Amino acid sequence: MALACPGQVARRVESDFSRDFSPIELDRQLARAFTQWRAWRLRLRDRPEGGEEDDPLTYFHPVTGLEQFRRLSELPEYDPLRGPARRWVYRLAEQRINHGALTALGEERQKELRLPDAPGRGAVSLATMLERCLSDAPRAEVWMQLFLGNAAPVSTLTVDLWQRRREIARRMGLDSPAVIESCLADADTAHTAGANAAVLAELVARSTRERIRELELASPAGFVEVALGRDVPGSWPARLSPQRMLDYFRDGDLLRSLDLKTPPLPSSLGAASFMRSLGILGGAWLEALGPQDQPFVVAHDPYGLKRHEASALFSLLPLNSRFLGRHLEIPPHALPDVRRRLAQIWLLELGLTAFRVQLRPHALAGESSFREAFVELVHRDLDLSVTPNIAGALFPLGIEDEQHLVGQLLAVEREEALLEAHDEDWFRNPRAIEQLRAEANRPPLTRAEPNEVKTALARTLKRLELLLR
């Protein structure tokens, strides 16, 4: 459904909900809203400018508002659509209400600045500065310093955004966004959700900070350089595209006959770009296999716990000796060193995600708490020194950070089970592929048991230690 006639969309939605409440119609409208929202998020990344006419969720206000959320909350808890529909209504409501704040952030990142000390002395945006910090290795430090020196406006907008998110939760009758968004809650309470996430993130940080310190990153630009993996040998593709990534799976049925909807892949700048692209492919794989015989709100999770797990599972493939030798032409004698370097990239990603999860409650608590915790946590867990005025601009927070962290851990446990049952070639094994596709065809779990996640953390840390020796 295109946005060419927004008035028609609005009238259709309002007409559909002028009748008695219909769970089936609600599900249809939420699916439509999601499609429009996803397209807008892609446009926001590439072209942030735009006004109210570029806010597709405005026309879905009847299904993404407080009244609808309350109506769903009044349903009996045994109703199978109550929980999934509430989560989707809340997710889309937050994005609709924060459309202006999100657009302003995108515009600020893309706004061109004329800086006399910038290489080339041309007008550059903050987004361009970060991109050149990645792609212009000889001048990465210069570009990062320019970014840090001009990122304060993005930080201010980020502080405002997270305060708005706290206020939205309050107006929806929740103590915290975690009541809806957390994947680690034992019960429907903000205290349990926030406590479990904080405990997990602290455990990860405590277990990874010494290894991160050993890398002697020195500066944010140094962090980027090590995390990018430009130095890792291997036959990494010169250009990353969905078609190119599919080539690595031609001799198996893992991705056979799937309509994969992937966002644009990153530029090929190092091993991490390849790992990230595999992760994007894994997320698209899971979404494509979602059950077709279930309502939209049941078949798809708005916060994507299983999607993040699938993404992490795919991104771990370069750590697989068979995959490295078969597709990236790493000779056997070089495997230990290459896997050690890839494990360092994985370590930094894990530590950075844990940092973000720890910072989230401070972002919701208020500006001073956010800025103070940002400086402290970056220094303690990432071994970097930063100033408080760039909180939220460097290492920005995301709504799905908790799912990303839990997904990273669960993926390791999932991979170990596949290795044990099907050997290192599990990504080509017909029985493993049949099993994975069957599992992906089930409604996704939206929450994980904290004890299960702690077990997965122990396995992850053990795996890292073996690779980092």
- Per-residue model confidence as pLDDT tens digits over 222-259: 999 999 999 999 999 999 999 999 999 988 899 999 99
Neighbours of 139 (CB within 10 A): 15
Separation of alpha carbons 234 and 317, rounded Å: 14
Q: What is the pLDDT of residue 117?
A: 86
Q: For position 188, what pLDDT does the model report?
A: 52
Q: Are 384 and 219 in contact (CB under 8 A)?
A: yes
Q: Strand ranges (DSSP E) for 297-364?
A: none
Q: Is 180:194 a contact under the CB 8 Å cutoff?
A: no
Predicted local confidence at residue 3, as pLDDT: 39
Judge whether 304 and 403 are in contact, CB under 8 Å: yes
Check if the beta carbon of residue 378 is closer than 8 Å to that of residue 282: no
pTM over 0.75: yes
Residues composing the chain: 469
Residues of the chain with pLDDT under 50: 1-18, 50-52, 187, 190
pLDDT of the residue at 5: 44
pLDDT value, residue 43: 82
> 294 exposed, middle or buried (CB, 10 Å; 0-12, 13-18, 19+)?
middle
pLDDT at 8: 46
For the chain, the maximum distance between any two Cα atoms, rounded to a whole number of angstroms, is: 69
Place of tokens 């927070």: 397
